[in-house]
Chain A
Amino acid sequence: MIIIGEKISVIAKKVREAMEARDPKPIQDLALAQWKAGAYFIDVNIGPAEDNGEDLMKWMCESIQEVVQAPLCLDTTNVSALRAGLEVHNNEWGRALVNSTSNDPERFPILDLAAEFNAELIALTVGKGGLPADAEERCGIAAEIMARAMEAGLPMEDIYLDPLILQVCTTQDQAMHSIKAIEMFQELNDPPMKTVVGLSNISNGVPKNMRSLIDRTYAVLLMNAGLTSAIANPLDKEMMDTIKTTEVFMNKTLYADSYLEM
């Protein structure tokens, strides 16, 4: 499974402070640690970044790709900041992933931007109104986004459909709806659509010491449903070990006694 390392986020105090001070070291350290732990993409979440978003995203991309040979997942709702990031992204190590478009008209330009820069794109299956009720509703939204992508000339294999994972502690019945959505998304195209989740959303609001257990248990169910990728914490060793073990069960990795070390 493709891991998108989630640790570089404006929500984290240390990261936010480093962003404000333009101090690359803490951000580079986090990028390197996640990359070494098995992240394929490094998520760069700068939040809405209303002031100076372009400059911030550009600086983040350059600082991170100075130390890791990995593609980045550019994570903001600020379209001009996304553009600034895509302009400097080093594609030598893989194409950028844009996070994200949805069925909200305000997010349509993000889809066009991905097409323009030949980047991959996360598509959240939510609209402007309320949250989707079930897997069927998520598929309906996915189909609308896919039609829009086709018009924009964005290939289907460059889209990662995201069912939007909701927290289990308040919306318990949604956990299996999202699993079903992952299964159904793949049926929307041949070859199957790629899928992605923000894994730790499932454990939002639960006591901290239980989050890793909840995340990794849910990851197994998602993987069994065919999940392609997850925005997750690669520094959570128990979760990474669980993912590697699931890949062995699913015959995606060949077993050897040292498989956890690879």
Chain B
Amino acid sequence: MSFVVPKESFNGKVASVDFGKDDKALTIGGDSALPFLSFEGELPNKPVVAYEIQDCPPDDWPDTVREVYKDVSGDPVTWAKYCQDEQGAKAIALRLVSTHPDRGDKSAEEASQTIKDVLAAISVPLIILGSNHIEKDSTVLVAAAEAASGNNCVIGKAQEGNYKTIVAAALAHNHKLIAMSELDINLAKQLNILITQMGFDKNKLITDPMCSALGYGLEYTYSVMERIRLAGLAQNDPTMQPPILGDVGMYVWKVKETVASEADVPEWGSLEERGIAWETLTATSLILSGANLLIMRHPSAIENVGKTIDELV
């Protein structure tokens, strides 16, 4: 008797979400099977990795990743162009860190100008992220949506405390939207319901169940992502069918394994290798659990993840 591979098929399908313009536009999602199980269904789009940059020098990034960008990170436009032209970035994620009240408190107008300048300098799709300050983001991201009008960007993150204004702005300027909740699948679903009840198309939504680094709760993120994917595919739950975002870099490049010096912990080996491995492993785990879009920092880690994706597809 010959062996027959058991196959599972699902009624549900992850939404296809495109962002960016013209020939540089990208599409994520569209999956009708679990990650990389292409013999069970359609997986039309590979996961996408975006290079993270920010609107001010990355003083709080550890040396390993700050060094890479030391000649370009003084100016977001130079930094963005470097990622696109020198590193071959397929997408760029601009985090508006300096709008945070504790990090410079720059105005929404200043942020808008930065966005316009960056958009004028690059042709790859742009993801625009606030400073993760609930009140400030609700003004900054509204201005950002307007500044980026016509560029089919991804903007975020809309959260329980500020989603209404951000959703309205994304709707008005025809952007894709990241909805973020804090490691709670039921809240993730609820936020998606509330956003779609405002008339926002569920096929323009990306869900971010909140990331965490290897060793710091990664298993929670992994489980939540996996459960979202199963609800979308197996239970055909339309509120759980947006593609998933893993905002990896910011969670990885602050844990002690990526920061502690070789002098302090010689038994841990090379700091640079350690940091790159940490970001690589965190990101790789998340694409296996269902992430469709990753935001990462170190070019070597991004290269590693890209190779893994190509080998698995």
- Chain A residues with a Cβ under 8 A of chain B: 252-258, 261-262
Contact = CB atoms under 8 A, between A and B. Distances in A.
A254 B185 contact: yes
A254 B189 contact: yes
A254 B229 CA distance: 12
Given A253-B235, A253-B237, A256-B189, 7 more contacts: A254-B185, A254-B227, A254-B237, A255-B186, A256-B187, A256-B239, A258-B193
23 contacts: A253-B237, A254-B185, A254-B186, A254-B189, A254-B227, A254-B231, A254-B235, A254-B237, A255-B189, A256-B186, A256-B187, A256-B189, A256-B190, A256-B193, A256-B239, A257-B186, A257-B190, A258-B190, A258-B193, A258-B197, A261-B197, A262-B193, A262-B239
A257 B186 CA distance: 8
A239 to B, nearest CB: 21
A108 B301 CA distance: 66
Interface residues of B, number: 14
Contacts of A262: 193, 239
Contacts, number: 29
Interface of B: 185-187, 189-190, 193-194, 197, 227, 231, 235, 237, 239-240
Given A253-B237, A254-B235, A256-B239, A261 B185 contact: no
Contacts of B239: 256, 262
Contacts of A253: 235, 237
Contacts of B197: 258, 261
Contacts of B227: 254
Contacts of A252: 235
Contacts of B235: 252-254
B240 A254 contact: yes
A261 B194 CA distance: 10
A256 B181 CA distance: 13
Which 9 pairs of residues, A with B, have the shortest CB-CB distance? A256-B189, A256-B190, A258-B193, A254-B231, A257-B190, A255-B186, A256-B186, A254-B189, A256-B193
A248 to B, nearest CB: 10
A3 to B, nearest CB: 15
A78 to B, nearest CB: 33
B163 to A, nearest CB: 14
A255 B237 CA distance: 11
A51 to B, nearest CB: 41
A258 B240 contact: no
A204 B240 CA distance: 39
Nearest to B187: A256
Contacts of B193: 256, 258, 261-262
A116 to B, nearest CB: 26
Nearest to A247: B235
A253 B197 CA distance: 19
Contacts of B240: 254
Nearest to A258: B193
Nearest to A254: B231
Kindly name the residue among B185, B193, B231, B240 whose own CB sees the greatest number of chain A CB atoms within 10 A: B193
Nearest to A252: B235
B270 to A, nearest CB: 43
A255 B240 CA distance: 11
A258 B194 contact: yes
Contacts of A261: 193, 197
Contacts of A256: 186-187, 189-190, 193, 239
A95 to B, nearest CB: 14
Contacts of B185: 254
A160 B227 CA distance: 30
Nearest to A257: B190
Contacts of B194: 258
Contacts of A258: 190, 193-194, 197
A258 B189 CA distance: 9
Contacts of A257: 186, 190
A44 to B, nearest CB: 25
B224 to A, nearest CB: 11
B166 to A, nearest CB: 19
Contacts of B187: 256
B231 to A, nearest CB: 5
B234 to A, nearest CB: 10
A229 to B, nearest CB: 15
A257 B181 CA distance: 14
A261 B197 CA distance: 10
Nearest to A255: B186
